[in-house]
């Protein structure tokens, strides 16, 4: 017999109420399966079942009660002696196994981590690299987006060169290199930046075009206003110049004193350049011309007034002579004739040497025209000399650029 061969272990048996025996190590397996439990139930039934019992007798009734009690006692005994202790031992074993399981599991995890440590460290480093790669790509995409958002909108959006350079920079970005799986995001960022910068640049160009157009319109309007103002100034200046040249005409028939006052006023008059503009030099010359004309008129009017003074003296002498004559004629008329006094007086006062002349006075200069007078004089020379004293019948003014004056007899 081999000494190394171990003897079989002794199996402990549990006896319940002297009725049933069960191996301790089989309790768990038996009571884990209803089919294995059924034979034990059948055996208890067989031992406890009473037949031919008379319930009318006390003995019969006691036998039945005793059999039922025996079943309950067997149940309780089996549970307490076999099942509960086995379950307790099994739970303890399970608890022990759980602890061992935990120890084993932790030890295996530590061993796994120890063995995997180089790979884990490599993977961690690669993860950092990957995260940095993704972070760098996303930062590059953010930078592309930021190119479409000026740093100083109030200044950059008004700088056409800046916008053009930024648009050129965005256009030159190569989104096919270095963006890997984020290439589509980079292309979208580039498109958005281009759209933003193009919109800003086009808006600025449009604004410049509109501003240039506005300034051109303002310049055109300014030129039109200046031309209109120049025309108005020239028109007003010409009107002033015409009025200046009309001074001699307006003073026709005025006294030498009035003419001299006007001469004195014109001598002191300083031609305002702002009122005459381009006609300033012409206005200065016109003032001199008018002064010369007025001096001639003053000289003529002085002669007229002197002649009138002499004529008044002669008229007074004539009136005195006529008065004496009328008195003599009145006396004679009372004696010799019945001719009306008025008629005789008119006849005696009539001066057959005085004639009526119609003269046309023409002038020209910065304005030109003519006036027609009816003058009483003894001859043409006297009529021409003293035409200012006559009755003005007509006056016509037109423009010209020469300076002259001519008096003609027209009948």
Q: How many CB atoms lie within 10 A of CB 353?
A: 8
Tell me the pLDDT tens digit for each residue of 285-306: 988 999 998 988 888 888 888 8
Contact 72, 13 (CB under 8 A): no
Selection from 297, 317, 289, 312 nearest residue 386 by Cα: 297
Selection from 92, 71, 202 nearest residue 84 by Cα: 92
pLDDT (0 to 100) of residue 95: 84
pLDDT (0 to 100) of residue 363: 65
Phi first, then psi: give them for residue 368, nearest 5 degrees: -145, 165
The owner of tokens 């309790």 is 27
pLDDT (0 to 100) of residue 14: 66
The residue count of the chain comes to 411
pLDDT (0 to 100) of residue 391: 82
* Cα atoms found within 13 Å of the Cα of residue 2, Cβ hemisphere only: 4
Query: Is the full-model pTM beyond 0.85?
Result: no
| b/e per residue 195-222 (b: at least 16 CB within 10 A) | ebbeebbeebeeeeeeeeeeeeeeeeee
Tell me the pLDDT tens digit for each residue of 60-89: 888 888 878 888 887 887 788 777 888 888
Contact 263, 251 (CB under 8 A): no
Q: How far apart are CA 197 and CA 147, in angstroms?
A: 8
* Cα atoms found within 13 Å of the Cα of residue 330, Cβ hemisphere only: 7
Residue 371: in which H helix or E strand, if any? strand 368-377
How deeply is 239 buried, as exposed, middle or buried, from its count of CB atoms within 10 A (0-12, 13-18, 19+)? Answer: exposed
Residues of the chain whose pLDDT is less than 70? 1-20, 50-51, 150-157, 311-351, 363-367, 388, 398-411
pLDDT (0 to 100) of residue 28: 76
Helix axes 183-245, 280-336, angle to 10 degrees: 30
**Which residues are 14's β-sheet partners?**
22
Q: How far apart are CA 350 and CA 355, in angstroms?
A: 11
Q: Parallel, antiparallel, or unpaired for β 20-23 and 355-364?
A: unpaired
Q: Quick check: helix, strand or coil at residue 409?
A: strand
Find the farthest-apart pair of alpha carbons in the chain and give their distance in angstroms, rounded.
231
The structural domains of the chain, with segments of one domain joined by +, span 13-125, 153-229, 246-332, 352-411
pLDDT (0 to 100) of residue 136: 93
The owner of tokens 């995409």 is 141
Phi first, then psi: give them for residue 391, nearest 5 degrees: -90, 125
Contact 368, 397 (CB under 8 A): yes
pLDDT (0 to 100) of residue 390: 81
Contact 275, 236 (CB under 8 A): yes
Q: Rg of the chain over CA atoms, in angstroms? A: 75
pLDDT (0 to 100) of residue 149: 77
Contact 273, 357 (CB under 8 A): no
């Amino acid at each position: 017999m081999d000494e190394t061969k171990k003897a079989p272990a002794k199996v402990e048996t549990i006896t319940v109420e002297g009725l049933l025996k069960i191996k301790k190590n089989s309790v768990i397996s038996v009571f884990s399966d209803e089919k294995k439990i059924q034979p034990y139930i059948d055996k208890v039934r067989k031992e406890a079942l009473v037949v031919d019992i008379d319930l009318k007798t006390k003995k019969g009734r006691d036998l039945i009660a005793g059999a039922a009690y025996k079943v309950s006692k067997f149940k309780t005994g089996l549970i307490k002696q076999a099942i509960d202790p086995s379950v307790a031992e099994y739970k303890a074993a399970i608890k022990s196994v759980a602890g061992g399981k935990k120890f084993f599991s932790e030890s295996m995890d530590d061993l796994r981590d120890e063995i995997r440590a180089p790979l884990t460290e490599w993977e961690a480093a690669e993860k950092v690299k990957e995260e940095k790669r993704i972070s760098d790509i996303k930062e590059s995409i953010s930078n592309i987006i930021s190119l479409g958002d000026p740093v100083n909108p109030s200044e950059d959006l008004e700088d056409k060169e800046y916008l053009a350079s930024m648009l050129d920079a965005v256009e030159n970005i190569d989104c096919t290199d270095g963006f890997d799986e984020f290439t589509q995001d980079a292309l979208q960022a580039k498109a958005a930046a281009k759209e933003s910068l193009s919109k800003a640049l086009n808006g600025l160009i449009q604004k410049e075009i509109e501003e240039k157009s506005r300034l051109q319109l303002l310049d055109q309007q300014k030129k039109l206003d200046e031309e209109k103002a120049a025309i108005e100034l020239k028109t007003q200046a010409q009107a002033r110049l015409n009025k200046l040249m009309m001074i001699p005409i307006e003073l026709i028939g005025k006294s030498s004193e009035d003419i001299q006052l006007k001469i004195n006023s014109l001598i002191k008059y300083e031609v305002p350049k702002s009122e005459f503009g381009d006609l300033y030099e012409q206005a200065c010359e016109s003032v001199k011309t008018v002064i010369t004309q007025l001096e001639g008129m003053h000289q003529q009017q002085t002669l007229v007034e002197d002649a009138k003074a002499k004529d008044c003296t002669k008229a007074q002498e004539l009136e005195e002579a006529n008065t004496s004559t009328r008195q003599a004629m009145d006396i004679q008329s009372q004696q010799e004739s019945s001719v009306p006094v008025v008629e005789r007086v008119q006849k005696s006062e009539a001066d057959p040497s005085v004639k009526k002349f119609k003269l046309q006075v023409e002038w020209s200069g910065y304005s030109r025209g003519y006036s027609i007078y009816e003058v009483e004089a003894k001859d043409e020379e006297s009529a021409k000399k003293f035409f200012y004293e006559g009755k003005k019948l007509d006056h016509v003014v037109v423009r010209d650029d020469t300076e002259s004056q001519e008096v003609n007899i027209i009948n």
